Structure 1
Amino acid sequence: MMGTKLQVAVIGGGAAGLCAARHLLSRGDRFAPPVVYEVSDSVGGTWIYTDSVGTDRHGLPVHSSMYRNLRTNLPKEVMAFPGFPFGPHLPSFIHHSDVRRYLEEYAQHYGIGEHIKLFTEYPLPISSSSTRSRSRTLKEEDQKSYHPEEVAIKSFTYIIIRNRHYSDPYIPNVPGMEYFQGQVMHSHEYRTPESFTGKRVVLLGAGPSGIDIALELSQVAQEVILSHSRPPIASPLPGNVIQAPGVDRLSEASVLFQDGTERRADAFILCTGYNYSFPFLAEEVGLKVEGGVVSPLYKYVVHTRFTSLCFIGLCKAVCPFPHFNCQVLFSLAVLDGSCPLPPERELNAATAEELRARLESGFPARHFHKLDSLQWDYNNELAQLGRFEPLSPILKELYENCKAIRGRDLINYKSYNYKISSGSSREWSLLCPQ
């Protein structure tokens, strides 16, 4: 009966939100067609590139961290949603515009578009009852600033949330930064390298963004200093890229590092990651972010008290689209009752035990949501709990192979191409650059 179908709201029209909508639409026996709320004017989430920083032409906050020349640091062969591959004509490491086009094609293929409310702010506030969520939509004729119009109050039984955790930059307290006379920015605002031509640039942080931006800037800058507290990067680097320890403090025209060395600098770029932020949740929901740990969540997904709230995509260092797919299918199994959950106290105890184990193995709490090679067992566990087909083992093989090549050849690894052949067993080959 139509009246018994579960009503689900999906917050966010990025990759995770589109994945949730696709699977909700495929489960018409249990779920009513979803409503997808997207605050911007198009789908794609973080894969929507814009030259703007701060706010866009509509006066909306710019959530994307894409820069003009960005190419993926994972091959397309491990990035695709199961059953919906990227085009065979594309190289393995693709431009961000190809990913956005892929997401648009995914939405069109599965008929998601008619269920998306563009220019519609997240329902505010989402309360513990997960109902009576007020939505606001941007008037079409208002193209200059964001003045949302209240249009409806709609009740939902369940809510799936895709949090944009690459949109709220983490700005550490660096002594002396307020006195530095050069340019200071976060990687969230980085778009193009030309303005750094001939300059001395210091980047704080050697994660994926820090390394990628350093390599791009090396082509135009006089000197690029990559400051970080990790073990030294083993891969050869361009001659004008220098590794340095963490930053102790800044002066008007230079950066002093923790080993006592000092370098003149024209620009200081913070590649320091992002905060988890949930401004659309009512305080009574009780979601907390402490030391980089989001709680109380079971399996990084389900709110342990209000199990009608599911969060997709909080984990880091994963194959994002296949990972989203597993989390969505697990969420639907929880929401429709086919994956019954134990009592709240047991859910919290399981999460606490996982955090304890991670800490004892040497992971700092701030990396609790960083999975990397742990993602494979995690995804398989979700598949077992949700009773759906696990990801192909070939994804693990390609991911780990790519990670190994990237570790020893940062300059050239995006020139490699992978080829997957299908037969009685799945096989792959690596095409090396000439």
Structure 2
Amino acid sequence: MAYMVKPRDLAPAVTSPVPVDTTLPRACVIGAGSSGLAAAKALYLAGVPFDCFEQGPVVGGNWVYENPNGQSACYETLEINTSCPRMAFSDFPMPEDYPDYAMHHQVRDYFEAYVDHFGFRDTITFNTKVEAVTRSATGTWIVRTSGPAGLVVREYDAVLVANGHHWDARWPEPAYPGEFGGEQMHAHDYRSADDLRGRHVVVVGMGNSALDISVEAARVARSSTISVRRGQWVLQKHLLGRPSDQVGLPSWMPWWVIRAKFELGAFLSGDVSKHGVPKPDHRPGQSHPVQSVRFRDLVKEGKITPRPAIDRLDRRTVHFADGTESPADLIVWATGYRVTFPFLDRALVDPQDNDLPLWKRMVHPDLPGLWFIGLAQPVGAVMPIAEAQSQWAAEILTGRYALPDQAEVRSRTRADHQRNKRRFYESERHTMEVDFDRYLWDLGRERKRGARRAQERRTAAPAAGALR
């Protein structure tokens, strides 16, 4: 791949191994998708001793089409919903010849180049599954893995969980009444137009994947119907001749000003409820944004038929709440994902209804040393957030940042969680929602505060003791 970037934006390549400081706390990174790579790179450059375990044989996680690890939801037409400059890591821009919104294979290549540029591929142990993570009596973390080396148990001072949250498919619970005689699949298992070709397709949901699949069905299926229980504001990917997310405001601006930008974007994009899609019952900016270039036109042209929530199923017919019905050979449930951690005992971590309050969406307030990287649903891309969180974790492990006491962490976690709940409408989809720019600004302020605390405590306990 010809990797063309602006030299002034690109960090120097790492061409020789970075020395490991064995006096520092030891860490474990779970996963080598976008968030796990950010974590591994930050720890590697900081000289922190760590292991990174990836269940499959390649890096890139969800952005690898037909990833052998079996967890990827990537489909043939998938492209990013955040523009390339806003999605890229801060010291490794995406190539100049990429389009405004890159395709999945371009993002995969970007991650491969990122790993090689910073020279940390050898720190990743591939084809190795994390079976269990438990806490010892002394507060360290015991990690059990299985792979080519067999069953291995190791001890760590910190665990960085980066296993992603778009892999454990959530189906309707309870199931809709009636019996369906066609095929059903979750959007996680959708791969290409071949799954839809020549069939009557009903897509359930109105997230980005649902819109993409319904658009593809309009091209190759006998009919394309989308069932929408709750309307969304469908935004354009370009506004005023630029990628819409590059028409920004300073991150320190109050939320009502940021929301006004979303309302302007929704107004300029147009109201799809004029064409039969249920009207949103919330204001723009109060939900995770959905974007589509073609969806609006295809609904207007009658090539995608919008319907309300499903009432019942009857063989090869889907009946809707307004009394209408559609033929169906295939139902695609684009109904989201459960946030789960199969390697953590539910008595230790149990996200009820996808709700797991964390301080700054990373630090578990009651389990020192258990950190979650990229466990956020940002109004923007997760990669820069995972990068900032990973740098923060490296600062904690090297002693350059000092956490507040546990009582303050718990108090601030509750306050942040309640603020985010007020900002976004209540649903399982929005339990982890954050505003991209303001989150990075806020975390940057906290990292500076923690650096001052660390300086004040420089004669106190070493970094390993600060984790427990």
Q: Same fold (TM over 0.5)?
A: yes
CA–CA separation in structure 1 for the residues paired with 2:366 and 2:159: 14
Q: Does 1:209 align with 2:228?
A: no
CA–CA separation in structure 1 for the residues paired with 2:141 and 2:193: 47
Q: Do the aligned partners of residues 108 and 177 (structure 1) sit closer, same or farther apart at CA in structure 2, a change above 3 Å counting?
A: farther
CA–CA separation in structure 2 for the residues paired with 1:127 and 1:312: 19
Aligned to 2:148: 138
Q: Which of 317, 321, 330 pairs up with 2:383?
A: 321
What is the one-letter code of the residue matched to 1:342? Answer: P
Distance apart, 1:174 and its partner CA: 5.6
Distance apart, 1:221 and its partner CA: 1.3
Q: Does 1:127 align with 2:187?
A: no
CA–CA separation in structure 2 for the residues paired with 1:130 and 1:165: 25
**More contact order relative to length (CA 8 Å, sep ≥ 6):** 2
CA–CA separation in structure 2 for the residues paired with 1:81 and 1:66: 21
Q: Quick check: 1:65–1:188 contact (8 Å CA) kept in 2? A: yes
What is the one-letter code of the residue matched to 2:162? Answer: R
Deviations 1:97-138 (A, max 9, x none): 111111111111111111111111115233253334233223
Aligned to 1:387: 448
Deviations 1:124-176 (A, max 9, x none): 2332533342332236xxxxxxxxx22x4332111111022111001113644
Distance apart, 1:196 and its partner CA: 2.0
Q: For 1:30-69, list aligned pairs within 5 A.
A: 31-32=48-49, 34-50=50-66, 62-69=70-77
CA–CA separation in structure 2 for the residues paired with 1:347 and 1:291: 23
C-alpha RMSD of matched pairs (Å): 2.2
CA–CA separation in structure 2 for the residues paired with 1:380 and 1:46: 27
Percent of aligned pairs with the same amino acid: 28
Q: Which of 357, 370, 376 pairs up with 2:419?
A: 357
Aligned to 1:220: 220
Aligned to 2:319: 256
Distance apart, 1:277 and its partner CA: 0.7
CA–CA separation in structure 2 for the residues paired with 1:344 and 1:159: 18
Distance apart, 1:322 and its partner CA: 1.0
Q: Quick check: 2:206–2:232 contact (8 Å CA) kept in 1? A: no
Aligned to 1:410: none
1:340 is paired with a residue whose SS is coil
CA–CA separation in structure 2 for the residues paired with 1:132 and 1:364: 36
Q: Quick check: 1:165–1:276 contact (8 Å CA) kept in 2? A: yes
What is the one-letter code of the residue matched to 2:223? Answer: E
CA–CA separation in structure 2 for the residues paired with 1:113 and 1:361: 39
Aligned to 2:42: 23
Aligned to 2:23: 4
Q: Which runs of 4+ in 1 moved over 6 A?
A: none
Aligned to 2:397: 335
Q: Do the aligned partners of residues 16 and 252 (structure 1) sit closer, same or farther apart at CA in structure 2, a change above 3 Å counting?
A: same
Aligned to 1:294: 356
Q: Do the aligned partners of residues 330 and 244 (structure 1) sit closer, same or farther apart at CA in structure 2, a change above 3 Å counting?
A: same
CA–CA separation in structure 2 for the residues paired with 1:289 and 1:123: 19
1:303 is paired with a residue whose SS is coil
Distance apart, 1:283 and its partner CA: 4.5
How many residues are paired up? 363
Distance apart, 1:361 and its partner CA: 4.5
Q: For 1:161-310, list aligned pairs within 5 A.
A: 161-173=161-173, 175-176=175-176, 179-228=179-228, 229-231=230-232, 233=234, 234=271, 236-238=296-298, 239=301, 240-283=303-346, 286-295=348-357, 297-310=358-371
Q: Quick check: 1:157–1:308 contact (8 Å CA) kept in 2? A: yes
Q: Unpaired runs of 5+ in structure 1? A: 140-148, 389-434
2:219 is paired with a residue whose SS is coil
TM-score, normalisation: structure 1 = 0.78
What is the one-letter code of the residue matched to 1:251? Answer: D
What is the one-letter code of the residue matched to 1:264? Answer: P
CA–CA separation in structure 1 for the residues paired with 2:187 and 2:177: 16
